[in-house]
Amino acid sequence: MRGRQWPDLAVRRFMLYDVFLHELGHLQIVDPKAQRLKRRFAGETMAQEFADYWRTRLWSQSFDHQDPVHNTPTRDELAAVERMASGEFVVQPIA
């Protein structure tokens, strides 16, 4: 949300399941015979499609892990974001 602090968990989830997977997507070989590296590996669109596909796939089932970042956002987390959007409260940084 523009102008608002994201919850720590949301930032971590975004970095891992969007940014990291997107960058990993660039390593996918699109044209193995291409002489130019730019043509050999996935560009922006394909890298994002890779990230979107794997994020959806990884979040399709709950993963038993002590860190909640590895699962899709819970209803409580989504409700908190909606309350933030409506201006009900501001997230305080964790000390």
* 31-64 pLDDT, tens digit each: 999 988 888 999 999 999 999 999 999 888 887 8
Tell me the per-residue pLDDT of 16-33, one tens digit each, with 9 for 90 and over.
989 999 999 999 998 999
pLDDT attached to residue 71: 83
State whether residue 41 is helix, strand or coil.
strand
Q: Model pTM greater than 0.95? A: no
pLDDT attached to residue 28: 93
Question: How is the chain split into domains, by residue range?
Answer: 8-85
